[in-house]
Chains A and B, each alone.
Chain A
Amino acid sequence: MQLDFGSLSGALPYLWKGFRYTVELTTISAAGGLFFGTLLALARLSSIKPLALAASAYVNLMRSVPLVLVIFWFFFLVPFALQWALGTERPPLVGAERTAIITFIMFEAAYFCEIMRAGIQSIPRGQVYAASALGLTYGQSMAHVVLPQAFRNMLPVLLTQTIILFQDTSLVYVISATDFVGAASKIAQRDSRLVEMYLFVAFVYFVLCYALSYAVKRLQLKIAIIR
């Protein structure tokens, strides 16, 4: 078989657009997932039983359903949910790209929740006692003492999860969102250059993920010394 990467250069602007969406989707989902995941973790650890139960039901549901299905379901459900929430006459047009962002935030929240929960539990109770003896309320000691330390301790795991998220975002092609893989597969089909395109995409993913994993490993060693 003859490989021909000639069509690649012409496709680069379109691939770049797809890649930018992949990065955008990853960073927004990671940030949003971390935010909601932390809230979920606090809920799971809450002494208010119904809250803890609801949070753990949500987390277990999300972690037990394949991501592709979640993407599908949200694609169909988000417009209706927004219609209900906003009280509009018809389901608003959200678009595959924005639906994907909402989906990934909700899905990643479940995983980040479990990481943050482990992080919070790794902080000795004495830290909270010390904070409250110094005049901080429970909420303040969470915000200024427990969460910063939990976040720092869990940073390598959070970043590793983000790298996995970076790879998982490629699944949005099932709802025809044009991410990096989506853009590549459109070009590949147009030019009948499937092998070259997918090789190129795989190469880019490999280089990025490998480099990031290596960086995380270095960071982990550094954090291990501080502790």
Chain B
Amino acid sequence: MAASVDVRNLEHSYGVQRVVRGLSFTLDQGAIGCLLGPSGCGKTTVLRCLAGFEPVQGGSIALAGREVSAPGRIVPPEARRIGMVFQDYALFPHLCVAANVGFAFGRRPSPDQHRRVAEMLSLVGLEGAARTYPHELSGGQQQRVALARALAPEPDLLLLDEPFSNLDVDLRERLSLEVRSIIKATGTTAILVTHDQHEAFAIADEIGIMHEGRIEQWDSPYDLYHQPTTRFIADFVGQGVFLRGIVAGPARVVTELGDLDTGAPLLAADGYAVDVLVRPDDIVHDDAAPWQAEVVAKAFRGADFLYTLVLPSGSRVLSLVPSHHNHALGEKIGIRLAIDHVVAFPAAS
């Protein structure tokens, strides 16, 4: 079976500015994909190309096996069987919630379509709000109306453009899990665009990290975090620092915090300098450890402290330590490395 979404070598420019440069990815039926990247990386443009709001200058987009975009050829948005949730929701303010959700069914919905609207409202937990108007709802409720409206006509593909950016942090986290379960309940294939990795991790099955108009890595959230393939991704996803190491054998790196087994052979000769990615959860506080580091900054985060530590060489590392280990600034604490997946890149300089 053809992939639900198949994007090949997509190119898009605004005037002379090339925003999307040969971007490709595929997404299976029922999967939730995410384009994650810093602002200005072209992710929203890709979404607009998928929706049919922007023509493409190169490559192609196929939805459910049908080519919908290619240079000089564009199926208009209304004929793509897509649903879209906008950053500002774009609810219709002159219509009540039920009319918004049933909008795609026209002025005189059939009994089946009436039932569908009621179903969608109960799916998003707004059964009682059918007759209210968008301005009477909170941001989170409006967001859910927008989702119900997009899903009501049973689209082949749901597109979400930074859907949580207008909500406060608490709500964002709760809602992103809720949105995932709603989308999964309907079995719709979906693509989300965001710059917030927590959001991406909470919702998506697969994430593409975008950088300068391309997808730099397309992977599961777990692999993106633990096995980033480029320095940019290692830097962009999660927290972490690079620790200098020297290659000493086919799968061995020596660092000032001990030797590391890379698990797989490195593509570098012995004596070659590399930078090893060290996440805050890779550094374990252990009084019995032979290595000592000085606390130079600490951030209390409830369950744990995020310590910034300086090693004898002057390198800085971050360490996540359970919060009952409350150490003062300037204090030396014992640490050791506990890295499951060693990720190393050629030394920066």
A199 in the interface, Cβ–Cβ < 8 Å? no
| Of the residues B52, B77, B86, B93, contact of A227 by C-beta under 8 Å | B93
Q: A133 and B92: CB pair below 8 A?
A: no
Known contacts A135-B78, A135-B153: A130-B93 contact under CB 8 Å = no
B150 within 8 A of A: yes
Chain A interface bracket (under 10, 10 to 19, 20 to 34, 35 or more):
10 to 19
Chain A contact residues: over half helix, strand or loop, or mixed?
A: helix
Q: Say yes or no: is A8 at the interface (Cβ < 8 Å to chain B).
A: no
Of A132, A137, A145, A227, which contacts B92 at CB under 8 A? A145
Inter-chain CA distance A2–B79, complex, in Å, is: 77
Cα of A148 to Cα of B95 in the assembled complex, Å = 10
- Is the beta-carbon distance between A132 and B135 smaller than 8 angstroms? no
Minimal Cβ-Cβ distance residue in B for A128: B90
CB of B53, distance to nearest CB on chain A (Å) = 6
Cβ of B159 to closest chain A Cβ, rounded Å: 8
Task: Tell yes or no: B82 within 8 A of A by CB.
Answer: yes
In chain A between 143 and 181, which residues have their CB closer than 8 angstroms to a CB of chain B?
145, 148-149, 152
Q: Contact between B77 and A133 (Cβ–Cβ < 8 Å)?
A: yes
Residues of A with C-beta under 8 A to B86 = 126, 129-130
B93 touching A149, Cβ below 8 Å: yes
Query: Is the C-beta of B103 less than 8 angstroms from some C-beta in chain A?
Result: yes
Does A124 belong to the interface (CB within 8 Å)?
Answer: yes
B149 contacts A by Cβ under 8 Å: yes
- Find chain B residues with CB under 8 A from A129 CB: 51, 53, 77, 84, 86, 90
List chain B residues, Cβ under 8 A from A148. Answer: 94
B271 contacts the other chain (CB 8 A): no
Interface centre among A130, A132, A227 (most CB of B within 10 A): A130
Query: Is B65 an interface position by the 8 A CB rule?
Result: no
Interface residues of A in 38-55 (CB under 8 A from B): none
Question: How many residues on the B side are at the interface (Cβ–Cβ under 8 A)?
Answer: 25
Complex Cα spacing A227 to B88, Å: 15
Q: Which residues of B lie under 8 Å from residue A60 when comparing CB positions? A: none
Given A134-B104, A135-B153: A127 in contact with B78 (beta carbons within 8 A):
no
Q: Which of B78, B84, B88, B135 has the most A CB atoms < 10 Å from its CB? A: B78
Least CB distance from A173 to B in Å reads 41
Q: Taking the complex as formed, is A226 at the interface, i.e. its CB lies under 8 A from any CB of chain B?
A: yes
**Contact: B90 with A127, CB < 8 Å?**
yes
Tell me the smallest distance from the CB of A116 to a CB of chain B, in Å: 16
In the complex, what residues of B have CB within 8 A of residue A145's CB? 92
Q: How far is the CA of A131 from the CA of B149 in the complex (A)?
A: 11
Task: Tell me whether A136 is interfacial, beta carbon within 8 Å.
Answer: yes
B83 beta carbon closer than 8 Å to chain A:
yes
Asked if B76 is at the interface of the complex by the 8 Å CB criterion, the answer is yes
> Are B93 and A132 in contact, CB atoms less than 8 angstroms apart?
no
Query: What is the distance, in angstroms, from A223's C-beta to the closest C-beta of chain B?
Result: 11
- Write out, one digit per residue, whether chain A residues 107-138 have a CB within 8 A of any chain B CB (1) or not (0): 00000000000000000101101111111110
Cα–Cα distance between A9 and B290 once the two chains are bound (Å): 113
Determine whether the beta carbon of A227 is less than 8 Å from that of B90: no
Instruction: A127-B90, A133-B78, A149-B92 are known; give 12 further A-B pairs, CB within 8 A.
Output: A124-B88, A129-B84, A130-B86, A132-B76, A133-B51, A133-B77, A134-B83, A134-B153, A137-B76, A148-B94, A152-B94, A226-B93
Interface residue ranges, A against B (CB under 8 Å): 124, 126-127, 129-137, 145, 148-149, 152, 226-227
